Amino acid sequence: MIQYLFLDVCAQIIMKNFFNNNIGYFAMLMAVIGFGSGPPFVTLALKEFFIIDLLAVRFLIAFFLMLFFCIVMRVNLSIKEVGLKPFLMGLLNPFLVTLSFHIGLLLTSPVNGVAIISTLPLMQPFVAKIFLNEKIEIKVIIGVLITLIGTYLLLTNQFKLGVGNYLGDLIIFLGMVCASTNEVIGRKFMQTKVNQLSVNTFQYLTGFVLSFLILFIIWPNSSFEYTYHLKFTPSVMAALTLSFITFAAYLFYNYALRRLPVGRISLMYPLTGPIGATSAWIVIDAEINFKIFLSLLIILIGTIIPYIDKKSLTKETDT
């Protein structure tokens, strides 16, 4: 009996230490699940919602959830404390990123969308070159070429199936450029003493304010029917699900950004491909075949190649 009790205590200690040592990875995994599973719900929600309507609803609910969370945790929400950088981050991601996905997914398949998310790690070196003058290594070029092959196979296959659209893919890609720029700006900022919860709150606030300005001032003809959307149709349920995904995914993402080197964060983005493809199959019955998973596998290999050097994974960037 004592032996079993001893083993149980040891197991609990080991599991606790394992979780504490890898909590950043668990946070990023949850963020990736959110990023990957979101596009199919966007496609479903846009069957009833206008683009800006859905954007406003997502950010409204996410902001108030975050605000409530901060009040409970007694977080200092002073702008003087965090500065203006969270507002710039909020403009880039989630606002412009989410807007690009809403527009892009009206035209193209959510499988295409999650595949493009998977290529985010390859954008980082080029964005860092532009903003931080960092050197682009040869293995990055090799990874880009392999990823382009996988992306080409995926997009042409989807186009043949009648569910792809190159313009929609381009719009989503531009959104991911915004996401990459945001990560370059925010990676060092999130590793300072700034409170992560307050940063998230101001990011959601930025998205909330901008989307409602568009909804009520710039695009006054948008017909948001309050009583109609009180009905729990599949599209409404998808919109509510997206609001919680928005709230949770960026919360986990900023937590991971604070605790992991960028190289290790980048390694986990390619998981959005298979996660998103599976989500699209479950949520909207998207057609999934061998060519799609082969394409996603090639993209996965291409995005991992630039980060296989151990030094690039463990080095905390000073830029």
pLDDT tens-digit profile of 256-295? 877 776 666 766 777 787 888 888 888 888 877 788 888 8
What is the phi-psi region of residue 134: left when phi exceeds 0, alpha when psi lies from -120 to 50, beta otherwise? beta
Residue 232 belongs to a domain: yes
pLDDT at 79: 86
CB atoms within 10 A of CB 239: 23
pLDDT of residue 183: 78
Please report whether residue 152 resides in a domain: yes
Does 17 map to a domain? no
Inside any domain, residue 30 = no
Give the residue among 259, 286, 308, 253 at the shortest CA–CA distance from 117: 253
Total number of domains constituting the chain: 1
CA dihedral over 202, 207, 212, 217, signed as positive or negative: positive
Classify residue 14: in a domain, yes or no: no
250 pLDDT higher than 80: yes
**What does the pLDDT read at residue 196?**
80
Q: What is the pLDDT of residue 205?
A: 92
pLDDT over 50 (residue 301): yes
pLDDT at 41: 92
The pLDDT of 203-220, averaged and rounded, is 83
Mean pLDDT, residues 39-56 taken together: 87
Angle at Cα 151 formed by Cα 148 and Cα 156, nearest 5°? 120
The lowest-confidence range among 92-101, 131-140, 147-156, 217-226 is 217-226
Residue 12 pLDDT grade (very low, low, confident, very high; cuts 50, 70, 90): low
Range of the domain at 156: 35-314
Q: Residue 228 — pLDDT band, cuts 50, 70, 90? A: low
**pLDDT of 9 higher than 80:** no
- Give the mean pLDDT of 112-126: 78
Residue in the structure block whose two tokens are 């599991």: 15
Residue 11 lies in a domain: no
Q: Of 223 and 82, which is predicted with more confidence? A: 82
Local confidence band at 132 (pLDDT 50, 70, 90 cut-offs): low
* pLDDT tens digits, one per residue of 189-200: 776 778 888 888
Mean pLDDT of the chain: 79
Residues ≥6 apart with Cβ < 8 Å to 270: 118, 121, 299, 300, 303, 304
Average pLDDT over residues 172-184: 86
- Residue for token pair 């990011």: 203
Whether residue 71 is contained in a domain is answered as: yes
> What is the pLDDT, as a whole number, of residue 241?
92
Residue 27 lies in a domain: no
